[in-house]
């Protein structure tokens, strides 16, 4: 019976293929690199989507209908057998009742061929079958071409034009004519990306803290007696109505954000959604708008003007809240949301913007809003359930305005983070590290003076004496200022890592060692006497030297005989700075990175225009012209990675040997480096 199923499987796949367009889970590319004066290495790279696999070369019994991988190369004499960069995974298959070999992830096939003096084009055909755990596609045939004999070190993909081939050949000759043997059938399984939820949890905790702060604002606090009055006279079903009141508050805050995000996902797909979030997080326009919005709301908190929604909206909602039943509960929740807008608006906006900037995915903003609204609604639900608790609450007064003013100072400090992001990604040079620090020092000094009663705003009550909480907050503010001051001379300020511009923007560094060392180094990498591409605008931390162009770095790694350390990072990436200042600073890590790897930093948010020869076109047909766009597209297309930071250790062909992501555990990062080195040694 099982063999009967195996016989029918290709036929069923063909019928499915006729009914709907078949996806393309495997992408093929071909290159040819000169091995010596008489031979070339033809390398075919198969990039297989996650969850899919292709079959090995076989052979299998004739009654097993397995679409094994078959590669033919016409136009040159083959030297030796074709090899794969890793051994296939072999396991017993219950359907075929045999041990089957499959490849997953990325695999490179290498075939040596004899070269003639005259240039020629080789015709390559790949016949293969692709399956996942649920189904198989009909066997596919891929035709590729590659040129040999044109120039030393020629490297050409099927899609390249003749002019591009000539340029690539020249570049390859200048950088690295490799003579390394191709990787043999060593088993080096791609490492699953290590996930760490620290960044997500910190974002959600920040949202909860903002919600608690919003409860103490003068727009929200007076709504508590109104809530109690409504539910005291509500009659039967009070507990259920109180719980639904909280549900309505959460829904009114969360659902509009979720709907907006999911609509963009459905209409434009994952790529469009990712592009939108990446644009929001890195482009100068939204970041400048965010900065101005924060400044406007800060001025409102200081009493310059009041930001409110139209009175007709609030009045209409308040009138409907007098209705009985669930409709009245809903309109009471709506009244709360509308009345509190002038205070919660900037807080909600800041929480969402922070979530987008820190985590480039669709769910983090939704979860952030869910946590914010849940924490915000919880006290109102408790007061609705237990009205007597109101008697123990402090009365409204001048202290509520002081809460708004304190939040205004915090809004100013956080607002400059968005202007700094635009400054970094566009290389304006406006907010260098010491200027940014100077602004924060002034802001929190003024905050401390306000808490001590030395500054007053329009709506402040007279401060006859300093309460203990105000004194504690003033001490905390001045302590923070004292902590920041050494940063003006290059102190690392690890507690603020991620919120400060990188050390590379610091004009003066007092010390010359440790994490505060200057970012320049005497050991500058060069390519034939020239500095690495884009090293005039991009820099690595801790005095490390490396590359900023993928192909250039791969060539250097092959030439050096070392694994390639790929750092997918961002100029405005908070978590990237944290990793660099709290993990990379370890002497063991720095020594290993300098000695054991060729380093490559791909900045996914740099808006610097790339060299024209590096421009590329993405899957949607858009021409990518900036360094950040090109790098983000490259990493996503080749490694299915969109989030920053992400770290990969690659072999000389770009195959993944080990991977790592945001994780502040130093020992885990050292283990990641060691795994990469061991996998590379196994290949050699």
- 129 and 62 fall within a common domain: yes
Domain end (from 344, 378, 399): 399
Higher pLDDT, 498 or 21: 498
Instruction: Evaluate if residue 350 carries a pLDDT over 60.
Output: no
At CB < 8 A and 24+ separation, what contacts does 457-465 make? 457/302, 457/303, 457/401, 457/405, 458/302, 458/303, 458/304, 459/303, 459/401, 460/303, 460/398, 460/401, 460/402, 460/405, 461/397, 461/398, 461/401
- 103 and 214 fall within a common domain: no
- 246 and 107 fall within a common domain: no
Residue 423 lies in a domain: no
Contact 568, 630 (CB under 8 A): no
Burial of 199 (0-12, 13-18, 19+ CB in 10 A): buried
DSSP at 222: T
3-state DSSP assignment of residue 586:
coil
Residue 533 lies in a domain: yes
Model pLDDT, residue 510: 72
Model pLDDT, residue 483: 93
CB atoms inside a 10 Å sphere around CB 640: 12
Kind of pairing between the strands at 120-128 and 130-131 = unpaired
Model pLDDT, residue 599: 95
Largest Cα separation within the chain, whole Å, is 97
Mean pLDDT of 599-616: 89
Mean pLDDT of 29-47: 82
- 285 and 253 fall within a common domain: yes
Domain end (from 353, 379, 399): 399
- 382 and 527 fall within a common domain: no
DSSP secondary structure, 412-473, as one string: HHHHHHHHHHHHHHTT--SS-HHHHHHHHHHHHHHHHHHHTTS---TTPPP--S--HHHHHH
Q: Which of 210, 207, 222 is nearest to 380 (CA)?
A: 222
Domain range for residue 132?
Answer: 2-175
Instruction: Evaluate if residue 189 carries a pLDDT over 80.
Output: no
pTM: 0.48
CA distances in angstroms from 523 to 175, 236, 546, listed in the order given: 18, 78, 10
pLDDT, tens digit, 9 for 90 and up, residues 295-340: 887 887 787 876 554 555 455 555 555 555 567 777 777 777 765 6
- 205 and 169 fall within a common domain: no
- 171 and 215 fall within a common domain: no
Q: What percentage of the chain reaches a pLDDT higher than 90?
A: 15
How far is residue 343's CA from residue 311's CA, in Å, rounded to a whole number?
16
Instruction: Give the chain's domain count.
Output: 3
The phi and psi torsions of 110 (rounded to 5 degrees) equal -125, 130
- 241 and 325 fall within a common domain: yes
Instruction: Evaluate if residue 184 carries a pLDDT over 70.
Output: no
Residue 117 lies in a domain: yes
Q: How confident is the model at residue 160 (pLDDT cuts 50, 70, 90)?
A: very low
CATH number at residue 540: 3.40.30.10
CA distances in angstroms from 670 to 59, 103, 598, 650, 659, listed in the order given: 42, 29, 16, 16, 12
55-81 as b/e: b if 16+ CB within 10 A = bbeeebeeebbbbbbebebeebeeeee
Residue 83 lies in a domain: yes
- 143 and 261 fall within a common domain: no
Residue 540 lies in a domain: yes
How far is residue 271's CA from residue 609's CA, in Å, rounded to a whole number?
22
How far is residue 605's CA from residue 274's CA, in Å, rounded to a whole number?
13
- 170 and 207 fall within a common domain: no
3-state DSSP assignment of residue 652:
coil
Residue 270 lies in a domain: yes
- 72 and 216 fall within a common domain: no
Contacts of 154 (CB under 8 A, 6+ apart): 32, 33, 34, 147, 148, 165, 168, 169, 172
Higher pLDDT, 348 or 454: 454
Domain end (from 376, 399, 422): 399
Which residue bears the tokens 């074709």?
82
Contacts of 650 (CB under 8 A, 6+ apart): 554, 557, 563, 564, 566, 656, 657
How far is residue 148's CA from residue 114's CA, in Å, rounded to a whole number?
10
Model pLDDT, residue 484: 93
Contact 113, 77 (CB under 8 A): yes
Residue 99 lies in a domain: yes
Burial of 145 (0-12, 13-18, 19+ CB in 10 A): middle
CATH number at residue 13: 2.60.40.1250
Higher pLDDT, 15 or 509: 509
Residue 507 lies in a domain: no
Q: What percentage of the chain reaches a pLDDT higher than 70?
A: 69
Mean pLDDT of 350-370: 64
- 216 and 167 fall within a common domain: no
Instruction: Evaluate if residue 515 carries a pLDDT over 50.
Output: no
């Amino acid at each position: 019976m099982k063999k009967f199923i195996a016989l029918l499987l290709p036929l069923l796949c063909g019928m499915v293929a006729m009914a709907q367009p078949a996806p393309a889970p495997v992408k093929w590319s071909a290159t040819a690199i000169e091995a010596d004066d008489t031979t070339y290495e033809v390398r075919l790279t198969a990039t297989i989507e996650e969850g899919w696999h292709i079959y090995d070369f076989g052979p299998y019994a004739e009654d097993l209908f397995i679409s094994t991988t078959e590669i033919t190369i016409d136009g040159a004499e083959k030297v030796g057998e074709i090899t794969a960069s890793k051994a296939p995974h072999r396991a017993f298959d219950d359907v075929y009742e045999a041990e089957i070999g499959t490849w997953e992830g990325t695999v490179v096939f290498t075939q040596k061929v004899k070269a003639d003096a005259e240039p020629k084009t080789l015709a390559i055909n790949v016949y293969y079958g692709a399956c996942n755990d649920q189904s198989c596609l009909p066997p596919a045939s891929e035709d590729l071409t590659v040129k040999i004999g044109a120039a030393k070190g020629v490297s050409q993909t099927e899609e390249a034009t003749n002019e591009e081939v000539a340029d690539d050949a020249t570049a390859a000759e200048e950088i690295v004519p490799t003579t390394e043997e191709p990787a043999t059938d060593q088993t080096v399984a791609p490492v699953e990306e290590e996930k760490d939820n620290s960044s997500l949890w910190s974002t959600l905790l920040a949202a909860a803290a903002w919600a608690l702060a919003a409860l103490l604002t003068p727009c929200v606090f007076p709504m508590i007696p109104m809530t109690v009055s409504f539910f005291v006279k509500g009659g039967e079903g009070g507990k259920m109505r109180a719980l639904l009141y909280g549900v309505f508050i959460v829904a009114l805050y969360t659902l509009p954000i979720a709907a907006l995000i999911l609509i963009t996902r459905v209409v434009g797909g994952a790529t469009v959604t990712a592009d939108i979030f990446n644009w929001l997080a890195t482009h100068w326009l939204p970041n400048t708008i965010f900065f101005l919005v924060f400044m406007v709301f800060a001025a409102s908190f200081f009493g310059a003007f009041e930001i409110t929604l139209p009175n007709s909206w609030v009045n209409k909602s308040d009138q409907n809240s007098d209705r009985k039943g669930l409709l009245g509960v809903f309109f009471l929740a709506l009244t709360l949301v509308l009345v509190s807008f002038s205070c919660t608006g900037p807080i909600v906006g800041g929480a969402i913007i922070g979530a987008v900037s820190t985590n480039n995915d669709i769910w983090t903003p939704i979860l952030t809003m869910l946590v914010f609204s849940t924490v915000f609604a919880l006290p109102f639900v408790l007061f609705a359930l237990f009205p007597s608790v109101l008697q123990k609450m402090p009365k409204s007064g001048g202290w509520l305005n002081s809460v708004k003013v304190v939040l205004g100072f915090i809004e100013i400090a956080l607002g400059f983070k968005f202007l700094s992001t635009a400054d970094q990604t566009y290389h304006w040079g406006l907010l260098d590290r010491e200027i940014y620090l100077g602004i924060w020092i002034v802001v929190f000094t003024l905050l401390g003076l306000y808490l001590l009663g030395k500054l007053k705003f329009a709506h402040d009550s007279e401060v006859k004496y300093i309460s203990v909480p105000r004194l504690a907050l003033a001490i905390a503010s001045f302590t923070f200022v004292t902590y920041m001051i050494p940063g003006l001379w290059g102190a690392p300020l690890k507690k603020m890592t991620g919120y400060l511009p990188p050390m590379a923007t610091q004009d003066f560094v007092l010390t010359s060692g440790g994490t505060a060392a200057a970012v320049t180094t005497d050991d500058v990498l060069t390519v034939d006497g020239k500095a690495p591409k884009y090293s005039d605008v991009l820099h690595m931390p801790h005095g490390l030297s490396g590359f900023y162009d993928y192909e250039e770095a791969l060539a250097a790694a092959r030439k050096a005989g070392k694994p390639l350390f790929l750092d997918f990072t961002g100029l405005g990436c908070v978590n990237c700075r944290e990793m660099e200042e709290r993990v990379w600073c370890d002497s063991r890590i720095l020594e290993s990175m300098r000695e054991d790897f060729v380093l490559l930093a791909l900045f996914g948010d740099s808006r610097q225009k790339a060299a024209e020869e590096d421009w590329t076109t993405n899957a949607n047909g858009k021409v990518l012209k900036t360094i950040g766009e090109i790098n983000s597209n490259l990493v996503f297309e080749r490694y299915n990675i969109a989030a920053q930071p992400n770290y990969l250790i690659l072999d000389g062909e770009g195959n993944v040997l080990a991977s790592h992501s945001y994780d502040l555990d130093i020992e885990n990062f050292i283990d990641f480096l060691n795994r990469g080195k061991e996998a590379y040694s196994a290949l050699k």
